[in-house]
Amino acid sequence: MGFAYRASQTFRVLLAKPGSEDLVLAKQHLPPPLEQLFLQMSAADQVHGVSVLRSLLARGEGDPDLLAAALLHDVGKSQARLQLWERILIVLASWLFPSRVRRWGENEHTGWQRPFVIAVRHPFWGAEMIRQAGGSQELIALVLRHQENLPADSAREIDRLLIRLQEADGLN
């Protein structure tokens, strides 16, 4: 995939806003306190969550925690509002230098590395937000671990759900 294509794709995704049918679909898969968390997310993250949900539904997935995790896996990003340029930087740098991005995200940076801290830590922040809103243990685990490297052959059901979530996240 070329750089220009990737960059224009990034802009298109980051400027998207959810439609009313997206919000209706999200509501069907979230109890009210969790729907409130969803609505706190940026418009671009809401669109992304609904796209991940649609990918899972299209593949016949029906686990309620998995479908809620599709919508909420990136909710931790709402703890630190990112500027559009910071979001673009994350997407492009994660694509170009993934291991450096992981290293930048591991410390408490406040300068230009702040977006990478969010990229690495948002699963932990999101899991805590969902715990406080009364989400299930399975939903908390799915959000907490959504960026974890998983053994492809794990027999655990939670790992199977995580692999489904990561595949759909990667497509959207």
Binding site for Fe ion (CB under 5 A): 74, 169
> Which CB atom, from 22 or from 74, has the smaller least distance to Fe ion?
74
Number of helices (H), then strands (E), belonging to the chain: the values are 10, 0
Q: Of the two residues 4 and 106, which places its CB atom closer to Fe ion in the complex?
A: 106
CB of 6 to Fe ion, least distance (A): 16
What is the CA 170 to chain-centroid distance, rounded?
10
- SS3 string, 108-141, reads CCCCCCHHHHHHHHHHHHHHHHHHHCCCCHHHHH
- DSSP conformation class of 30: S
In the complex, minimum distance from the CB of residue 2 to Fe ion, in angstroms, rounded to a whole number: 23
Q: What's the rounded Cα separation, in Å, for the pair 49 and 12?
A: 15
Residue among 65 and 74 whose Cβ is closer to Fe ion: 74
- Give the span between the Cα atoms of 139 and 126, in whole angstroms: 10
Q: In the bound complex, what is the minimum distance in angstroms from residue 25's beta carbon to Fe ion?
A: 17
Nearer to Fe ion, 81 or 155 (CB): 81
Angle subtended by helix axes 20-28 and 32-40, to nearest 10: 140
Nearest distance from C-beta of residue 73 to Fe ion, angstroms: 5
Q: Tell me the closest approach of the beta carbon of residue 155 to Fe ion, in angstroms.
A: 25
